[in-house]
Structures are given as structure tokens and as C-alpha cells.
């Protein structure tokens, strides 16, 4: 037997194969975003003539974004569990998120609500397009800031925020896009079927929501991260809770997904508002 073969470490091929697994889930994330954009385009092309068919396309797009959140969560956990996280993986994951949770939700919201209600040459149509662009830009900036903190967890400039693995700084873009998708999944019919002025008021509210999500993504408000894992009884209870939520989603997806997305997006703001009243200031030392 050749000496080189004897010195070859065991399971070397398996170790290399582990690096592919997170990438496959990230690729599935990209695929869901791509299909969501295509479904939004198909829904937009028929919303005026066949609202029911359009609603099926919009619902498929929303479900695609929801599945992408699952893939996005799994790929990171697998990379950390197998210790196969790489810098190129971080960059690839963020590029996937720009498509799936940035471009896909804005395309879906435009085709489902803004375009069917506001004429193309009206000021409100232009405002809606601008807000969707602002959402996309804020999401891209949020991902760039996260990548910078993840790859260089040091103080870069005066006042830079320290990396906290237990919390995200600013609203992550997946739950922001997930909330938009959950709203569409809750009511996938094109917004124009509600008639005036109800449809107009709904779109006003949606545009306000997009503005709020954009600000939250670039803010310094902290959001809970699920990266830290627990063992023992808490982990067992977590498995039970996940199973219960999964069953609830299967039975009442329209309500449960919207509730989960709304709770996550709002909990950071609520904690930011009440934290000054709960955290006691440290008394100054006297000499």
C-alpha cells in the first residue's frame, strides 16, 4: 500500500461533503425566491381578468417566501453544527437573502396591492414604488452590516456596536419579508377586489408598514436570535413547542404564520420601549 494512502486522514471525503450541505439549503432559498418572483409576475398579468387565478399565484409566492425562511434557518444551523461555516458561505447566504426577502417581497407587494389599486401615473403609485425601493435598500444595508460584524467582530469605528450572538442589531430581513408574505397568505386576493375606498385605505396601511420595516432593519433595536442552543430539559421543551407550532401551522396557516411574524417584528420594538423602565441605572461610585 502506498505511504500517502496510509497517511490520508479518515473521513476526509465526508468532511468535504459536509461543506456542501449548507450550500444546498442556501440554493433552495434562492430557488424559493426565484419562484416567488415568477409567481408574482404571473399573478400581476391576470389580476384584472381573473382575480381568483391571480390569488393562487400570489399565495404560491407567499408560501415560497415562507419556505425560504425555513431553508435560511436550517442552513445556518447546519453550518454551525458541523463547523462548516465559511466566509463565502456568509456572503452567498446574504446574496440569497437579498433576492428572497428583499426583491421577492417587494415584487409580490407591488403586484398584489400597489399596482392593482393605484394607476401607474398617479402620485401614490410613485410613492409606493419609492417605499418598496427604500425597503430593498435598507434590507441590503442591513445584510451588509451583519456580514461586516460577522466577519470582523471588532470595533471598527468609534461608536460601532459590539456583536451579540444572542441578539440581532436591527430587524433581520427574513422576518421582515416573512411578515409581508404572511399578509398576502392571509388574504391572497388582489387588493383591488375590495373596492374603493377600502382598498385604498388598506394599501395606505401597507405602505406605512413597509416604511416601518425599512426603519427597523437599519435601526439599532435588538431582536432575539435563536442561534444559541440549549440542552437538557429546555431543549426537550423546545422540541415540543416546535412540534405544536408546526401542527398549528398545518391546520391554521393563515392565522398562525401572520401571528408569528407580527409577534417577532413587534417584540423588539416593545422591549426597546419598556427596557428603560425595567433596567435600573448603575449608581455612580463615590470616592
Q: From first to last of its 287 residues, what are the pLDDT tens digits of the chain?
A: 455 544 545 445 555 556 677 788 889 999 999 999 999 999 999 999 999 999 999 999 999 999 999 888 887 777 666 666 667 777 888 889 999 999 999 999 999 999 999 988 899 999 999 999 999 999 999 998 887 776 664 444 444 444 555 778 889 999 999 999 999 999 999 999 998 899 999 999 999 999 999 999 999 899 987 655 444 456 667 678 878 888 888 888 899 999 999 999 999 899 888 888 876 655 555 54
Rounded alpha-carbon distances, angstroms, from residue 113 to 31, 39, 49, 145: 24, 15, 16, 30
Domain assignment of residue 7, yes or no? no
pLDDT for the residue numbered 287 = 47
Domain assignment of residue 120, yes or no? yes
Domain assignment of residue 284, yes or no? no
pLDDT for the residue numbered 148 = 79
pLDDT for the residue numbered 168 = 84
CA 189/CA 112 separation, integer angstroms: 8
Domain assignment of residue 84, yes or no? yes
Q: Do 45 and 10 meet the contact criterion of CB atoms below 8 Å apart?
A: no
Instruction: Estimate the share of the chain in helix, then strand, then coil, as percent rounded to the nearest 5.
Output: 75, 0, 25
CA 254/CA 251 separation, integer angstroms: 9
CA 174/CA 33 separation, integer angstroms: 11
Domain assignment of residue 1, yes or no? no
pLDDT for the residue numbered 154 = 46
**Residue 28 C-alpha from the chain's centroid:** 15
Domain assignment of residue 76, yes or no? yes
Helix (H, G, I), strand (E, B) or coil at 169: strand
Structural domain that includes position 60: 13-278
CA 96/CA 166 separation, integer angstroms: 23
pLDDT for the residue numbered 278 = 78
Crossing angle (nearest 10°) for helices 51-81 and 87-97: 170
Cell numbers given for 86: 465559511
pLDDT for the residue numbered 75 = 73
Q: Grid coordinates 408574505 are at which residue?
A: 181
The number of domains in the chain is 1
Domain assignment of residue 153, yes or no? yes
Domain assignment of residue 285, yes or no? no
CA 219/CA 43 separation, integer angstroms: 33
CA 230/CA 271 separation, integer angstroms: 23
Which residue in 265, 142, 141, 271 sits closest to 209, CA to CA?
A: 265
Which residue in 62, 57, 74, 65 sits closest to 33, CA to CA?
A: 65
Q: Which run of H or E residues covers position 224?
A: strand 222-224
Amino acid at each position: 500500500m502506498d505511504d500517502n494512502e496510509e497517511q490520508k486522514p479518515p473521513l476526509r471525503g465526508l468532511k468535504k461533503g459536509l461543506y456542501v450541505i449548507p450550500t444546498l439549503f442556501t440554493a433552495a432559498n434562492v430557488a424559493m425566491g426565484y419562484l416567488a418572483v415568477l409567481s408574482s409576475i404571473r399573478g400581476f398579468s391576470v389580476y384584472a381578468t381573473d382575480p381568483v387565478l391571480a390569488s393562487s399565484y400570489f399565495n404560491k409566492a407567499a408560501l415560497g417566501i415562507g419556505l425560504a425562511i425555513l431553508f435560511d434557518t436550517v442552513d445556518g444551523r447546519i453550518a454551525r453544527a458541523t463547523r462548516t461555516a465559511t466566509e463565502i458561505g456568509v456572503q452567498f447566504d446574504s446574496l440569497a437573502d437579498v433576492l428572497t426577502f428583499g426583491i421577492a417581497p417587494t415584487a409580490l407587494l407591488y403586484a398584489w396591492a400597489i399596482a392593482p389599486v393605484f394607476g401607474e401615473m398617479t402620485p401614490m403609485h410613485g410613492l409606493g414604488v419609492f417605499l418598496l425601493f427604500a425597503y430593498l435598500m435598507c434590507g441590503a444595508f442591513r445584510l451588509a452590516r451583519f456580514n461586516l460584524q460577522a466577519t470582523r467582530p471588532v470595533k471598527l469605528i468609534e461608536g460601532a456596536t459590539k456583536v451579540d450572538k444572542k441578539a440581532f442589531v436591527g430587524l433581520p430581513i427574513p422576518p421582515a419579508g416573512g411578515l409581508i408574505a404572511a399578509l398576502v397568505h392571509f388574504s391572497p386576493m388582489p387588493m383591488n377586489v375590495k373596492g374603493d375606498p377600502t382598498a385604498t385605505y388598506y394599501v395606505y396601511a401597507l405602505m406605512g408598514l413597509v416604511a416601518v420595516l425599512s426603519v427597523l432593519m437599519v435601526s439599532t433595536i435588538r431582536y432575539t436570535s435563536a442561534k444559541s442552543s440549549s440542552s437538557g430539559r429546555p431543549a426537550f421543551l423546545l422540541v415540543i413547542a416546535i412540534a405544536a407550532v408546526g401542527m398549528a401551522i398545518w391546520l391554521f396557516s393563515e392565522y398562525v404564520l401572520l401571528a408569528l411574524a407580527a409577534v417577532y417584528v413587534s417584540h423588539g420594538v416593545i422591549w426597546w420601549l419598556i427596557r428603560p423602565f425595567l433596567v435600573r441605572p448603575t449608581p455612580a461610585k463615590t470616592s
